Structures are given as structure tokens and as C-alpha cells.
């Protein structure tokens, strides 16, 4: 008998034991548009999981009304805690708890959407008067010596316009940041499912030898889309596939074909479904795919160490670990890149956070220490919760960065 193949996300959903709050309802995601490719239908349960799942679905119908009331309660709380949403109507939630097409609320700065005290934003810098004064003094000093701090032999760095370019990128990274608490509005998804999807994307990214920028842009598109759209678990991997395809077209010269992607998902989605989902995601995101990833900021910070290969390679490993942790969702890529580079220099014991590091990163050492401590927590048992990333950086072309970090943790972290 031919065994039916499932994706990693489907396997996770089958094996997960859910009690009370999140019963499995396979078709309660309401589409924002009648042609929504990510909508779910009643017969999906029978076609994907057979009569058993259909029976389980029918048993859950009695709880629909209670779940709807709980969802409406969350919508009211969401509106009260997010006053930056446009009150005119284009960016408001409707009565069913779904977002309108123009409800993309990340136009406001990310720091305005701070979570509760129980969920600190480790990816957002905290500014004190002391930090502002130090940064102003460093900037004034370095601008009086532009020959030392801005002249670069690499013409691609365009040092003549670097100040204006990065000022624009600092603004863009806040405008295109996802909502760090979007999982609260998802009825069928959990943070653990996101980790599984990211782990799978890392494998696909490494298999096709794609650029690092493609990986970070893919995760950003997924998080931003989930910030404005409720998605069912059966269409969750389709969101990841669509985001990967968009990121490849934006960053890569040669990218995998749709037929190759269909093969990767074991035929779970057709050629037409992927194309339709890609168009829908671009419409929902208003075609804003120019999010500045952390690699642009990491390259600039690396100039402070004369582009030391060991330091930057280890920093890249630390940056990718943050993709698996939900605490860094919505974090500023410039701040995460600076924190990873700072931790890399401390682990390799090559240099301290000097004036040039503050100038090129835009952050002081005092600001980076809390985020660096959170990244150290990601290093503990990284081979378990970040398996694909850990194995990827065991390669010699990455200087065995994951093994070095593992040894460092066992030696210095209690």
C-alpha cells in the first residue's frame, strides 16, 4: 500500500497533543477575499487525513461559537493596545477578527508596539541619555576624520553616500518590521510550528546554495504576512514556500524553479497554488519586499575589524540562530547584527567595542550586552533546537563555527 507523504508541518500537527485552548479545526480560517489561495475548505480534512480527521472536525464544530467569542475578545484587546492603527477604517479589524487587505500596521515604528513585561523585546535597543551623548560624540569625532573612518577601497560600499544610505535603511527596518505578538491572533499555529518551518527553509536554502540575504528576507516575509493574515496549519508551509520564492526572485540571479519547489513539498501544493499564493502575499504586503536584512549592517560593522573573516563568520552563525527564537521576531536587523558582531569579538577575544565599532554600528556596548546575553542562551543546546543551522556551520567553509561556539559554551557558560 502506498504510504501518503506529509510535510514536516503536517507531521507536527498530527503528533501534537492539544488540550483545551487550541482544538484542531481545519477550516475555520476566514478568507479576506473570495479568491484567497490560503483559504481552507471543509473537504480538506477528508482529502488530507481521511475519515478520522473528518469525524474529529465535526466534533469540534460545537466549540466554534466559544472560540469565536474568545477571538472577538482578543480583537477588542488588540485595538486598545495598538492605538497606532488607523482609525479611518482602512487599517482596522473587522467584526470577525480578520484584517482588511490594507491593515498592514507595521508602518509605525517597531518600538511603539512593545510587548508586556513578561515578553521583553530583546531585539530592540534601549536608549538612555548617556547612550545618545556617547553616540553623538563618537559621530562628531569620526566625521572630523573622514579619511580614516569612511574611505574604502571597495567601490561597492560607496562610502561617499554611506551616511545617507544607512540613515534610510534605519528608517526602513522599522517600517517593515513584523508584529512580535502575531501568534496571539493565529488560531491554529504555534511558535513551535514556526520553528519547524524555519528549520525546513534553512535546509532548502543550504541545498540550493542561496545567498544569506535570501534566508533573512524569507523569514521576514513570513512573519509580516502572519502579522496581518490568519492562516490554517495546512496552508502554513505554503506561506513559507511563497515567501522563499519571492525572496529568491528579489535577491538571486538563479533561483529554484517552481517544479523543484513542488518536489520539495512532496506534491502537497500544485504549481498553480504556489503561483496564486505568491501573488496574494505580494498584494497583502503591498509589494514592500525591500526589507534591509542584517547582512548589510554586518558588512558595515565588519569594517571596524578590517573585515576579519573569523569574526564575521561566527557572527553570521549567531545571527542565524536568532531566526529560530520567537523572542527576536520584530527585532531590528541593525541591532541584531551589532549584537552578534559584539558577541563574536568577545568569544574570539580579538578586540573590545571601540570607538570605530560604535560609529559603524550606531550602538554602544551598554545597549548590546542584554541582546548578546539572549543570543548566548540560543547557543545552549543549539544542536537540538537549531539542528539544521548547527549542522550547516559544522562545514569547514564556515570555519566550524558551531563546534567552536559549542565548546565555548561548555567552557564559559554555567
How far is residue 10 from each of residues 17, 189, 389, measured CA to CA in Å? Answer: 13, 12, 22
Instruction: Dig out the grid coordinates for 215 from the structure.
Output: 534566508
Residue 146: predicted pLDDT? 62
Can you give the C-alpha Rg of the chain in angstroms?
A: 22
Instruction: Dig out the grid coordinates for 58 from the structure.
Output: 465535526
Residue 264: predicted pLDDT? 87
Residue 101: predicted pLDDT? 34
Q: If one looks up domain 129-175+292-412 in CATH, what number appears?
A: 1.10.472.10
Assess whether pLDDT exceeds 90 at residue 373.
yes
Assess whether pLDDT exceeds 70 at residue 19.
no
Q: Give the confidence band of 297 by pLDDT, cuts at 50, 70, 90.
A: very high
Q: Give the confidence band of 69 by pLDDT, cuts at 50, 70, 90.
A: very low
Q: Give the HSE-up count for residue 64: Cα atoms under 13 Å, Cβ half-sphere.
A: 13
Assess whether pLDDT exceeds 90 at residue 114.
no
CB 353 within 8 A of CB 368: yes
Q: Which residue has the higher pLDDT, 110 or 297?
A: 297
Q: Give the confidence band of 74 by pLDDT, cuts at 50, 70, 90.
A: very low
Domain ranges (residues) in the chain: 8-65, 129-175+292-412
Average pLDDT (48-74) is 40
Residue 142: predicted pLDDT? 83
User: Lowest-pLDDT range, 22-26, 78-82, 145-149, 244-248?
Assistant: 22-26
**What is the spatial distance between Cα 24 and Cα 18, in angstroms, rounded to a whole number?**
8
Residue 366: predicted pLDDT? 94
Average pLDDT (270-278) is 93
Which region, left, alpha or beta, applies to residue 211 given φ > 0 means left and ψ of -120 to 50 means alpha?
beta
User: Lowest-pLDDT range, 152-156, 161-165, 304-308?
Assistant: 152-156
**What is the spatial distance between Cα 210 and Cα 357, in angstroms, rounded to a whole number?**
29
Q: For residue range 186-236, what is the model confidence (pLDDT) as tens digits?
A: 999 999 999 999 999 999 999 999 999 999 999 999 999 999 999 999 999
- In this structure, the dihedral spanned by the alpha carbons of residues 306, 388, 176 and 112, taken in order and rounded to 10 degrees, is -100
Residue 89: predicted pLDDT? 32
Exposure string (b/e) for 344-379, b if CB count within 10 Å is 16 or more? bbbbbeeeebeebbbbbbbbbbebbeebbebbbebb
Residue 160: predicted pLDDT? 79
Assess whether pLDDT exceeds 50 at residue 25.
no
Amino acid at each position: 500500500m502506498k504510504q501518503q507523504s506529509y510535510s514536516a508541518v503536517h507531521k507536527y500537527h498530527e503528533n501534537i497533543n492539544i488540550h483545551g485552548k487550541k482544538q484542531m479545526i481545519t477550516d475555520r480560517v476566514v478568507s479576506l477575499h473570495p479568491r484567497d489561495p490560503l483559504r481552507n475548505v471543509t473537504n480538506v480534512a477528508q482529502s488530507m487525513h481521511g475519515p478520522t480527521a473528518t469525524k474529529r472536525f465535526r466534533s469540534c464544530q460545537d466549540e466554534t461559537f466559544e472560540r469565536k467569542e474568545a477571538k472577538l475578545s482578543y480583537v477588542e484587546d488588540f485595538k486598545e493596545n495598538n492605538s497606532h492603527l488607523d482609525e479611518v477604517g482602512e487599517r482596522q479589524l473587522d467584526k470577525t477578527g480578520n484584517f482588511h487587505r490594507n491593515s498592514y500596521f507595521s508602518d509605525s515604528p517597531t518600538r511603539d508596539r512593545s510587548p508586556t513585561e513578561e515578553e521583553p523585546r530583546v531585539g530592540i535597543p534601549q536608549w538612555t541619555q548617556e547612550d545618545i551623548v556617547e553616540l553623538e560624540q563618537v559621530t562628531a569625532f569620526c566625521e572630523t576624520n573622514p579619511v580614516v573612518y569612511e574611505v574604502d577601497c571597495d567601490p561597492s560600499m560607496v562610502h561617499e553616500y554611506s551616511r545617507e544610505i544607512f540613515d534610510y535603511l534605519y528608517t526602513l527596518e522599522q517600517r517593515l518590521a513584523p508584529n512580535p505578538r502575531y501568534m496571539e491572533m493565529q488560531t491554529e499555529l504555534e511558535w513551535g510550528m514556526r520553528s519547524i518551518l524555519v528549520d525546513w527553509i534553512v535546509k532548502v536554502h543550504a541545498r540550493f546554495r542561496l545567498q544569506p540575504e535570501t534566508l533573512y528576507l524569507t523569514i521576514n516575509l513570513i512573519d509580516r504576512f502572519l502579522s496581518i493574515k490568519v492562516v490554517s496549519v495546512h496552508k502554513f508551509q505554503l506561506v513559507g514556500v511563497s515567501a522563499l520564492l519571492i525572496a529568491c526572485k528579489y535577491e538571486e540571479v538563479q533561483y529554484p524553479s517552481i517544479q523543484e519547489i513542488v518536489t520539495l513539498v512532496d506534491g502537497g501544493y500544485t504549481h498553480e497554488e504556489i503561483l496564486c499564493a505568491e501573488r496574494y502575499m505580494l498584494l497583502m504586503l503591498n509589494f514592500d519586499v525591500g526589507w534591509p536584512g542584517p547582512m548589510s549592517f554586518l558588512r558595515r560593522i565588519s569594517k571596524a575589524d578590517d573585515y576579519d573573516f573569523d569574526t564575521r563568520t561566527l557572527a553570521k552563525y549567531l545571527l542565524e540562530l536568532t531566526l529560530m527564537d520567537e523572542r527576536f521576531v520584530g527585532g531590528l536587523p541593525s541591532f541584531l547584527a551589532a549584537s552578534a558582531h559584539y558577541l563574536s569579538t568577545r568569544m574570539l577575544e580579538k578586540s573590545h567595542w571601540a570607538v570605530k565599532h560604535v560609529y559603524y554600528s550606531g550602538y554602544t556596548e551598554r545597549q548590546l550586552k542584554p541582546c548578546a546575553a539572549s543570543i548566548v542562551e540560543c547557543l545552549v543546546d543549539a544542536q537540538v533546537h537549531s539542528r539544521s543551522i548547527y549542522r550547516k556551520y559544522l562545514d569547514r567553509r564556515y570555519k566550524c563555527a558551531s563546534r567552536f561556539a559549542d565548546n565555548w559554551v561548555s567552557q564559559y557558560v554555567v
